[in-house]
Copies of this chain bind each other. A is one copy, B any other.
Amino acid sequence: MITALAGGVGAARMLRGLVRAAPPGSVTAIVNTGDDTVLHGLHVSPDLDTVAYTLAGWSDDRRGWGLAGETWTTMEQLERLGGLTWFRLGDRDLATHLYRSQRLAEGATLSEVTSELVSSMAVPATLLPMSDDPVRTRMTLADGTDVAFQQYFVALGHAVAVAAVHFDGADVARPAPGVLAAIADADRIVVCPSNPVVSIGPILAVPGVRAALAARREDTVSVSPLVGGAALKGPADRLLRELGHDATGAGIASLYRDIAATLVIDDVDAADAPAVTAAGLRCIVAPTVMHDVDAATALARVVLDAG
């Protein structure tokens, strides 16, 4: 059994490799829900959806988010009505949010809804939200204003300096059913190449998760989201520096040292290996850029064979 901690696009690609490299039905992903937001009355879970769409083979890999063959009829009409359109919800994607919002209103948990969606989409993995309780990532910007994650990430295009990140509700959130068991029982735990601060950070902030992972440190392999000191997508590198970390393999190692005994860094960052080792982690140097499914599968094999 393989358990992965997952954010959005980077994690989805890693998972696409893992489900190919591992035995059928053996992969479970614990997915960040700190990015979740309610828009137009709809509960949107961006990371859960990105992972599900990608594993179902429904994603638009060229655009990097959302569904292939997507149309935008509702958004175009909403624009005509003068509504909020900075967060683009495609016509097909909307169905997921309608389904989730209806089921949550009926009293289902986010775990239950996720399980139903995963089943309808024939996703070849188990997806667990990190928590069924609301945890909301918020950013304190350098100018002191406090904004919700999607405001920072989408509306502001993450083009602003961040002074602090916090996870509203994390102090009282409980791990979703199955999360702690998936960590305790896994043969291999993988920290996907997601943003350590705003994708993996919220998962670790759910009480009990960090301790459960620490107990499995020897079997946990983390994959750096940085290549040559930069994030392939998103603001991970800048965010790390703004919050006082190094945007290097050593910086990632110091963030994960209590939960992972191993860190995979990219070939181009091979020079970081001694610093990773000095931080107390085994370091594996391998190609980490997942151009396609084969590259993702090769990286997954490295992760599964590690240690």
Write out the residue numbers on chain B whose beta carbons fall within 8 Å of the beta carbon of A278: none
Copies of this chain, count: 2
Neighbour of A105 across the interface among B41, B102, B104, CB < 8 A: B41
Which chain B positions have C-beta within 8 A of A71?
Answer: 71, 73, 91
Binds B, one of A14-22, A93-101, A257-265, A285-293: A93-101
Decide if A232 is an interface residue (CB 8 Å cutoff).
no
Contact with B along A128-172 (1 / 0, CB 8 A): 000000000000000000000000000000000000000000000
A270 neighbours in B (Cβ, 8 Å) = none
Of all chain B residues, the one with the shortest Cβ separation from A104 is: B41
B91 touches A77 (CB 8 A): yes
What is the CB-to-nearest-CB distance from A80 to chain B, in angstroms, rounded to a whole number? 7
Q: A84 an interface residue at 8 Å Cβ cutoff?
A: yes
Known: A40-B101, A43-B41. A96 touches B120 (CB 8 A): no
What are the interface flags for A90-125 relative to B under an 8 Å C-beta threshold, 1 for contact and 0 otherwise?
011011111101101100000000001100110000
Q: How far is the CA of A158 from the CA of B91 in the complex (A)?
A: 30
Query: Does A83 have its Cβ within 8 Å of any Cβ on chain B?
Result: yes
- Taken together as a complex, chains A and B put the C-alpha atoms of A120 and B99 apart, in Å, by 28
Give, as a whole number of angstroms, the nearest-CB distance from A165 to chain B.
Answer: 25
Q: Which residues of B lie under 8 Å from residue A116 when comparing CB positions?
A: 82
Chain A interface, DSSP helix/strand/loop, else mixed = helix
The reply on A214 being an interface residue by CB < 8 A is no
Determine the chain B residues whose CB is within 8 A of the CB of A101 once the complex forms: 40-42
How far, in angstroms, from A105 to B101 measured CA to CA in the complex?
14
Specify which chain B residues have a CB less than 8 angstroms from the CB of A43 in the assembled complex. 41
Contact A40 B78 (CB under 8 A): no
**Closest-CB distance, A37 to chain B (whole angstroms):** 12
Q: How far is the CA of A94 from the CA of B116 in the complex (A)?
A: 23
Interface string of A51-86 (1 = CB under 8 A from B): 000000000000000000001011101101111100
Within 8 Å by CB of A78, from B77, B78, B99, B105, lies: B99
Q: Give the 6 A-B CB pairs with smallest separation, nearest first.
A: A41-B101, A77-B95, A40-B98, A73-B91, A78-B95, A41-B41
18 A-B residue pairs with CB within 8 Å = A39-B102, A40-B97, A40-B98, A41-B42, A42-B98, A71-B91, A73-B91, A74-B74, A74-B94, A77-B94, A77-B95, A77-B96, A80-B95, A80-B120, A81-B95, A81-B117, A82-B120, A94-B94
A contact residues vs B (CB 8 Å cutoff): 38-43, 71, 73-75, 77-78, 80-84, 91-92, 94-99, 101-102, 104-105, 116-117, 120-121
